[in-house]
Structure 1
């Protein structure tokens, strides 16, 4: 373990873990693993109105599904209040922080006056030297920002970012109700946890100088920063649900594999040559912050589907059968109407044509339903008096087969085709509709073989009865 490398991912439990946050978590996790460092999970749950246990549990469930095991945590800010109070008292004692009794209305008026004068709208320091002890009216604590000079963020990805201190506010670090504020808590946590690298979205860059002032006021060494680019939709606007940006657990429900989602999200902004598909071990071996793109990444749902299909193609067969069984049971169907071997054959047929597990399960439904759910348009076109004679002849040929293999089924088809002087499509499509209810399925010989002799004959009989009714 490299004790010098310590990173953290710090979501708020005010909502589900979405893919933007998941990508940031992955960058932190892979950076730590590459350097044999420590990856920490910290939940920022001080928003009393919006933080919930439901979202807290959902965040942990999302990481459990992704297979990310954190070296430390989850820590919760709500259980660390004594630490923040101790730090605030230290800043107050040193003079780096001061008591402020200005009301929100008074502070807003200050900002409006500054704006009208063409100055930076900020608190004007009225209470900087006003109190040397706690007043008898509500007060907050503010951090004294320097009036001159610069605060420089030395970012690994973007280089030096300079903030004029004259533009920085005396930020509130403790509210009038005694609760610490976001930027203060973040800085104190990072100091206490000895975070070496802060890897987060560049939408947090404006918070960084505020947090650096806390480090400086406490005379602590600052971590290294890497502010990663945002993920945008195809319209180059900030990613949202309308771009398909669901939560991590929604991707699980939609039938994505965690390995595929990890691969896709890491590749949104990171590259290693022209390689597209990476195992977790390969990412750990090759991950480097220097290989992160500075420009925004574009979210492409179609590419994610393609990648997920690639992972399904190469997935373990037993895992796919287990997924099929679970999905069927969730829909009220029994997988046990067919043997395990038949179910293995079904997933082998469907894995190459399914972009998600959900698609695979939906594609397999007809094998397990007791009655065929006909698409009326397909039935009207193919289940006709013209096709009934052909299907009846095939039904008789199929009934003679002892070993109901795809090869023997194929031979039965060819005997009817030769006798009737027809091509395969003339027979296969009516049979496909009779067996599946629709016009698209795996190969008809394989479909009948996997369905089994008894169930295939039963469905052909039902289709013939429908034609003759």
Structure 2
């Protein structure tokens, strides 16, 4: 009796007219990459567009793919992006388990059915024998298996077994052409006799991807799958596998597949996981908004029919159609990703921007994990100054970090402490500010402009020194607003600390220089 560990062959779906069920089935072989998670976005959007189910299945059948350090980051990325799965690890569902390494007996039960029905056969040929046969036939030795074991007699099989050989199980490929309607690329015709009979179960008894993937799709009732174009060449053997599964009653239909193009670098090479910008979690660490990242991943090769390049997740779901995915390779464009994220940030109202910034700042140490009421209030006051000036939450947190640093441990930004300040100008500014009672933006502006005199160069130098003294950097939020946010006591303490400090120039004299517009820079002399 064949067991399906709680499943029956017809438990998965009633047919292609049933509810849409898409799948994202990654292998945990490295950090979650742009190309991989882009496929998740498309499958999620397709399922949500049709009111269907999004199934997450981890394909860790191969031993070298069972890398635990990359399993949890896969789930973390999906959760961060809001790509909620309806069935899968840590969620459950009626067709579990959802990790292939835990489904081995299910795959082998189906393999036994296929073998008994003649859909699979035992193959005893060694790689050396296959190469030798190819050589004698005038083919390239490495051409691959030549289907020579399809009709071995029982006595031949017995002889091989007596030699200690253990067979693999191969699928009989049809001799007819395969006509395939790709959801992205349209109709594709695969000519016959171009595909060797694939191994479905290895000699050690482990199922291969060629068996596990279609079996799991069938038992989980997967109706559609959008996946990388590196799998396009496998379509003939997968169509043959589904046909065999239908003949034994395990599958009711063949899913519809669409093959999305590869993500490439500036040189047109397939994007490698070794490229830091290919890691999706690096964008989270920079302070990208989840909706902006989904927006960027979606428009890498897909176009919204009406919204242009900036759209919400709801707009993506409403308009998503796989035929709008362009089949040509798509280039990773970090500048475009930043531009999209900036658009999403600037579209947030102040309250939502503050909430996002508060969460990011608390997670990166700019703020404590549990900010005080005063710290929350200060951040809210800073939001109008920072919201339209930044492209990421990381930039925003960096811009306001000076507000939350203790005065006694305040220090200039790394690399800035090597500057030699115009100390007389800074002392003059401190003297002007010390007697100011109304510490507001307008009062600060009036007091500094009147108190520093009419020497433009001296005034500009004083402003540059003030920026560095109170914020620790030369490029900051507007100076008067920064002083007002920081408060009189903290501002004056930091100025005095700066005047009392000795910053080394590393043997090279550096001076604060101001441009005609008043913006500071440095020069060596």
TM-score of the superposed pair, with normalisation by structure 2: 0.80
- Which contiguous aligned blocks of 4+ residues in structure 1 show a shift greater than 6 angstroms? 332-335, 374-379
Q: Work out whether 1:49 is the aligned partner of 2:76.
A: no
Relative to structure 1, is the Cα distance of residues 391 and 189 closer, same or farther in structure 2, using a 3 angstrom cutoff?
Answer: same
Unmatched tracts of structure 2, length 5 or more: 1-16, 90-97, 504-525
Distance in 1, Cα, partners of 2:487 & 2:370: 16
Matching residue of 1:458: 493
What is the CA–CA distance in structure 1 between the aligned matches of 2:180 and 2:136, rounded to whole Å? 30
* CA pair 85-416 structure 1, distance change in 2 beyond 3 A: same
The answer for the alignment partner of 1:234 in structure 2 is 266
Paired residue secondary structure (2:121): strand
Report whether the alignment pairs 1:373 with 2:412. yes
- Compared CA separation, residues 458 and 138, structure 1 to 2 (3 A): same
Q: Kindly state the Cα deviation for residue 173 of structure 1 after the two structures are TM-superposed.
A: 0.6
- Structure ranking higher in helix proportion: 1
Offset of residue 241 of structure 1: 4.6
Describe the shift of the 1:337–1:365 C-alpha distance in structure 2 as closer, same or farther (beyond 3 A): farther
Return closer, same or farther for 1:106/1:293 CA change in 2, 3 Å cut-off. same
Partner of 2:509: none
Instruction: After superposition, give the CA deviation of every residue in 1:288-344 in whole Å (9 maximum; x if it has no partner).
Output: 1121112222210111112222223334112212322332258x8996596322222
Partner of 1:140: 168
Segment of structure 1 superposing worse, 298-307 or 72-81? 72-81
**For 1:86-120, what per-residue CA distance to the aligned partner results, in whole angstroms no more than 9, with x for missing partners?**
22112211212111122232234334545x43699
Is 1:396 matched with 2:434?
Answer: yes
Q: Secondary structure of the residue that 1:8 maps to in structure 2?
A: strand
Residue 415 in structure 1 maps to residue 447 in structure 2: no
Give the equivalent residue in structure 2 for 1:64. 79
The equivalent of 1:348 in structure 2 is 384
**Range that drifts further, 364-373 or 252-261:** 364-373
Match of 2:194 in 1: 167
SS in 2 for 1:341: helix
RMSD of the TM alignment (CA)? 2.8
Q: 1:82 to 1:333 in 2, by over 3 A?
A: closer
The separation in 1 between residues aligned to 2:140 and 2:455, in whole angstroms, is 90
User: Residue 270 of structure 1: SS of its match in structure 2?
Assistant: coil
The 3-state SS of whatever aligns with 2:63 is coil
Partner of 2:440: 405
* CA distance in structure 2 between the aligned counterparts of 1:392 and 1:377, rounded to whole angstroms: 20
What is the deviation of 1:199?
1.2
Contact residue 66 and residue 262 of structure 1 kept, 8 A: yes
SS of 1:339's equivalent? helix
Aligned equivalent of 2:396: 360
- On the 8 A contact 1:110/1:123 being kept in 2, the answer is no
SS of residue paired to 2:359? helix
- Work out whether residues 223 and 255 of structure 2, in 8 Å CA contact, stay in contact via their aligned partners in 1: yes
Please state whether the residue corresponding to 1:49 is helix, strand or coil: helix
Of the three residues 277, 297, 301, the one matched with 2:310 is 277
Q: Distance in 1 between matches of 2:301 and 2:380?
A: 37
Who is 1:17 aligned against? 32
Partner residue of 1:443 out of 447, 453, 478: 478
Q: Do 1:350 and 1:363's aligned partners in 2 also have CA atoms closer than 8 Å?
A: yes
Q: Report the CA distance shift for 1:314/1:107 in structure 2 as closer, same or farther (over 3 A).
A: same
In 1, the alpha carbon distance for the partners of 2:369 and 2:81 equals 28
Aligned with 2:357 (options 317, 320, 330)? 320
Over 3 Å counting, the alpha-carbon distance change for 1:158 and 1:340 in structure 2 is: closer
Displacement of 1:149: 2.4
Matched, 1:295 2:328: yes
What pairs with 1:134-283 in structure 2 (closer than 5 Å)? 135=158, 136=161, 137-146=165-174, 148-218=175-245, 219=247, 220=251, 221-241=253-273, 244-272=276-304, 273=306, 275-283=308-316
Asked if structure 1 preserves the Cα contact closer than 8 Å seen for 2:29 and 2:67, the reply is yes
Partner-residue secondary structure (3-state), 1:203: helix
8 Å contact from structure 2 (residues 183, 256) kept in 1: yes
The Cα offsets for residues 389-409 of structure 1, whole Å up to 9 and x where unpaired, read as 5223323243x33xx222222
Q: Aligned pairs, how many? A: 460
